[in-house]
């Protein structure tokens, strides 16, 4: 399977069953100049900023918390299964999953998972532009 648009339906369950790594997204397909990525997440990510793009999150299973540092202060949005949220470009944010969670992300191709600026990346976070499916 490649990250090129597919001429056949893609099963997200099959894709998600094909890997176990946390915070290491897989590119499922592309839409125009965007990657559709899925990831398994648990624990904390890293504070980071995407200077030039919004970041779209859809929770497929579990629950995702996203801490945001906004001009009005810091807040956290909680996304239960089936919820989505877009972090606006230029907003410092830090995803956190209290338990195993599966998410879908929509980002411009080549977007780094730790953004353009970030805190020190912990060993359990994969700083990547996404991995192709095998």
Please tell me the predicted confidence (pLDDT) of residue 2.
Answer: 47
pLDDT value of position 4 = 64
CATH of the domain at 51: 2.60.120.10
In a domain, 134, yes or no: no
Show the domain range for 29: 12-120
* Helical ranges in the chain per DSSP H: 12-17
Q: Does some domain include residue 106?
A: yes
**94-110 b/e (C-beta count within 10 Å ≥ 16 → b):** bbbbeeebbbbbbbeee
Determine contact, residues 101/49, Cβ cutoff 8 Å: no
- Sign of the dihedral through C-alpha 109, 106, 85, 75: negative
Residue 95 lies in a domain: yes
CA atoms within 13 A on the CB side of 84: 9
Structural domains in the chain (count): 1
pLDDT of residue 1: 41
Residue at 2 is within a domain: no
Does residue 6 lie within any of the structural domains? no
The pLDDT, as a whole number, for residue 118 is: 72
Nearest Cα neighbor of 12 from 30, 34, 29 is 29
Query: Cβ(110)–Cβ(50) under 8 Å?
Result: no
State the Cα–Cα distance between residues 111 and 67, nearest whole angstrom: 20
Q: For the chain, 134 residues long, give each residue's pLDDT as a single digit of tens.
A: 445 666 789 999 999 999 999 999 999 999 999 999 999 999 999 899 999 999 999 999 999 999 999 999 999 999 999 999 999 999 999 999 999 999 999 999 988 777 677 777 767 776 777 767 77
Let me know if residue 34 belongs to a domain. Answer: yes
Q: For the whole model, what pTM was predicted? A: 0.88
């Amino acid at each position: 399977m490649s990250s090129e648009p597919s001429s056949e339906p893609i099963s997200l369950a099959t894709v998600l069953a094909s890997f176990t790594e946390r915070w290491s997204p897989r590119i499922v397909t592309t839409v125009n100049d965007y990657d559709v990525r899925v990831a398994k997440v648990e624990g904390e990510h890293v504070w980071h900023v995407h200077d030039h793009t919004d970041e779209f999150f859809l929770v497929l299973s579990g629950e995702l918390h996203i801490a945001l540092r906004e001009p009005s202060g810091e807040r956290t949005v909680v996304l239960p299964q089936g919820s989505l949220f877009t972090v606006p470009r230029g907003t410092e944010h830090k995803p956190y999953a209290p338990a195993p969670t599966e998410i879908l992300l929509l980002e411009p191709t080549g977007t780094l998972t730790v953004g353009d600026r970030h805190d020190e990346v912990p060993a359990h976070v994969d700083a990547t532009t996404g991995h192709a499916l095998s």
